[in-house]
Amino acid sequence: MAEVLLAACQTEETATEPVARPVGPKGLRVASGVVKWFNQVSDYGYIACDQGGPDRYVRGENIAGASSMLLAGSRVEFEPREGGMGPEAINVRPLPPNTTQE
């Protein structure tokens, strides 16, 4: 079941109307985006949000599943939050190829 929430990556200044977003396993809103880059050696990177707003910092430990790496240009779904490095993504899940933004 989806709850109506403001788009997860928008700031208050850019939010214009509520957008239906599902709630993830940790009870946070779910957003989607594209991996801008991910450094496998340093184990971190950034995700550009489909909904606009700031890019999200992601650490390898916040990637769900067996793989702790992401490829640039890959589509992902994640739970956004404010972290010590600013806006960040947790519980990041790769999406199948050709998945479009809602």
The ranges assigned to domains in the chain are 2-94
Specify the pLDDT at position 43: 93
- Kindly report the number of other CB atoms within 10 A of residue 71's CB atom: 12
Query: Among 17-21, 26-30, 60-64, 82-86, which stretch is predicted with the lowest mean pLDDT?
Result: 17-21
Predicted local confidence at residue 69, as pLDDT? 79
**Coil, strand or helix at 14:** coil
Q: Which of 6-10, 57-61, 66-70, 96-100 has the lowest mean pLDDT?
A: 6-10
CATH class of 2-94: mainly beta
Q: Report the pLDDT averaged over residues 55-63.
A: 95
Residue 62, pLDDT above cutoff 70: yes
Q: What is the pLDDT averaged over residues 14-23?
A: 44
Q: Can you give the pTM of this predicted structure?
A: 0.70
Q: Half-sphere exposure of residue 18, counting CA atoms within 13 Å on the CB side?
A: 8
CA-nearest of 38, 44, 50, 32 to 86 is 44
